[in-house]
Every structure is written in structure tokens, then in C-alpha cells.
Amino acid sequence: MGQQYRGTRGSQGRDRREPTKPKLDAKVITEGGAVLVNAAEQHGKQLARNLTTSQIRNIYGAVKKMQMRGELDTHKLVMLKPKLAYAAKRHGGGVETLRDVLTQAIDLVGNDSKKFNRFVDFFEAILAYHRAYGGN
């Protein structure tokens, strides 16, 4: 007798596919402005339900330190990705969503200091809308 194929459904008939990850419009980092604000509001509103500020304080602090130094350190920026991965695994939920969005944004920054400043603006705007929509 051969193995039976069960597809993507579990024993109770539920679909076990991965949830879709949020897609970040590149214009958020390349152009900024209204596109950045609208995307930040959308993500901040969504994250207000299942993310606490304390869960992301470490990552936000690292980003602000980089900005205060005044020059882009691409190595430190890319090293935020493992920090985000760790926080997402540790806390789950909203941190996973934030990781997905910020990882895409980090990839868009590259070695461009203007894009880095838009990344910081985007992160700050997400946190502001998170708080405005009732996040702790």
C-alpha cells in the first residue's frame, strides 16, 4: 500500500496554508509622503490589536541610535533583520506582521541615506498610528 496524499488540509478539514504576508509598496521608502503615511496608518491600525510597544522598543531604539549617528551603517541596518526574527518568534502575533513589513523596508533602503531616513519616518509613523488606534 502506498502513502496517501492529504493535500493542505489537516485531519479536521481546515486549511493549513501560511497566512499571506503584508506587501509593502516600494514607494513608501523610495518616495515617502502620502504613500508612506497611508501605509503607516494601515499597518499601525492593524498592529494596535495585537502588539505592545514594549515588544518593539529594542528594535526601535536601535533604529534611533543609527539615525542619531548621522550616517547610514548598512551592516547594522541589515542586522536588524535577525533581531526582528527573534522578537517575532518570541512574541508571535503582531511582531510577526511588523517583522514582515520592516524586513521589506530594510531591503528597499539598500545603501541610500535618504531612503534610510524614510524608513525611520515610516517606523515612527507606524508607532504613532499604533498608539493612536489604541495600542499599548
56-109 per-position pLDDT tens digit: 888 899 999 999 998 899 999 999 999 999 999 988 888 899 999 999 999 999
Total-model pTM: 0.81
9 secondary structure, DSSP code: B
- 95 in Cβ contact with 51 (< 8 Å): yes
Between 19-33, 38-52, 93-107, 113-127, the lowest mean confidence (pLDDT) is in 19-33
pLDDT more than 70, % of the chain = 85
Distance, in Å, from the CA atom of 74 to the CA atom of 72, rounded to the nearest integer, reads: 6
Q: What is the mean pLDDT of the chain?
A: 85
- 129 in Cβ contact with 46 (< 8 Å): no
Q: Residue 85: its pLDDT value, please?
A: 95
20 secondary structure, DSSP code: P
